[in-house]
């Protein structure tokens, strides 16, 4: 899986071939078919673990007690933590599958994740901790997009930890979303 993730990340899913993956592993292309039936199956095997982990942990956070801003921070920490733990795999998911709606199973997972985030934001509007005029549809995409984009510019082995990055992203997001006293 690691070899496939590396190839998909470097070349992109559509440009990568099973021969590229076989070369990375050091085997003949035909030997791969002892383990997989298609490039698409391999793609899903690569991205399934981080996608499922993110969704399961987010479900638990949303169901837990707490304020919306606290849950936004927790969701950001889980999201960045999954990225850090499965960086290459998550990057392949973000750049090859997420939000594209091409694959029904993955579209359903993406939709559920977005709806979980939106539910937290809507609860924040309802409880008064987030602005009454906050468009939760747009705000949900802004938060998720900001977190996903970490796969483009953040180095999980660099000086800033996943938690620090999550706190920076969520603070920036919340600074624009919190309700403010009337002036």
| 3-state class (DSSP) for residue 178 | strand
91 neighbors 8 (Cβ within 8 angstroms): no
- According to the model, what pLDDT value does residue 32 have? 81
Give the separation between CA 89 and CA 106, rounded to whole angstroms: 15
Give the separation between CA 127 and CA 137, rounded to whole angstroms: 17
In-domain check, residue 28: no
Could you tell me the two tokens for 97?
């599958």
pTM: 0.84
In-domain check, residue 15: no
pLDDT tens digits, one per residue of 6-49? 888 788 878 888 888 888 888 888 888 888 888 888 888 878 88
Could you tell me the two tokens for 183?
């002036």
Range of the domain at 160: 46-177
* Domains contained in the chain, number: 1
Alpha helix locations (H) across 12-156? 18-25, 29-32, 39-63, 68-85, 87-96, 104-127, 136-148, 150-153
* DSSP letter, residue 64: S
Rounded to whole angstroms, what are the CA distances from 65 to 32, 37, 62, 140, 154? Answer: 47, 44, 8, 20, 31
| 3-state class (DSSP) for residue 13 | coil
Q: Of 9-13, 49-53, 176-180, which one has max mean pLDDT? A: 49-53
24 neighbors 6 (Cβ within 8 angstroms): yes
| 3-state class (DSSP) for residue 130 | strand
Could you tell me the two tokens for 173?
């997001």
In-domain check, residue 25: no
Q: Which residue has the higher pLDDT, 92 or 21?
A: 21
In-domain check, residue 3: no
In-domain check, residue 97: yes
In-domain check, residue 71: yes
The fraction of the chain above a pLDDT of 70, given in percent, is 96
Return the CATH number at 54.
Answer: 1.10.357.10
The fraction of the chain above a pLDDT of 90, given in percent, is 50
Burial of 143 (0-12, 13-18, 19+ CB in 10 A): buried
In-domain check, residue 14: no
In-domain check, residue 182: no
């Amino acid at each position: 899986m690691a070899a496939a993730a590396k190839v998909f990340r470097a070349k992109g899913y559509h440009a990568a071939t099973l021969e590229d993956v076989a070369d990375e592993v050091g085997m003949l292309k035909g030997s791969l078919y002892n383990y997989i039936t298609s490039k698409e199956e391999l793609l899903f095997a690569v991205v399934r673990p981080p996608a499922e982990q993110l969704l399961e942990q987010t479900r638990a956070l949303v169901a837990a007690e707490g304020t919306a801003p606290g849950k936004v921070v927790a969701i950001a920490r889980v999201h960045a933590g999954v990225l850090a733990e499965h960086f290459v795999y998550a990057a392949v998911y973000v750049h090859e599958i997420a939000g594209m709606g091409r694959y029904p199973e993955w579209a359903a997972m993406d939709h559920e994740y977005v709806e979980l985030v939106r539910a937290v934001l809507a609860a924040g509007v309802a409880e008064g901790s987030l602005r009454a005029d906050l468009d939760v549809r747009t705000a949900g995409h802004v938060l998720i997009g900001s977190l996903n984009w970490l796969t483009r510019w953040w180095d999980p082995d660099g000086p800033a930890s996943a938690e620090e990055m999550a706190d920076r992203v969520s603070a920036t997001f919340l600074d624009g979303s919190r309700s403010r006293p009337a002036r």
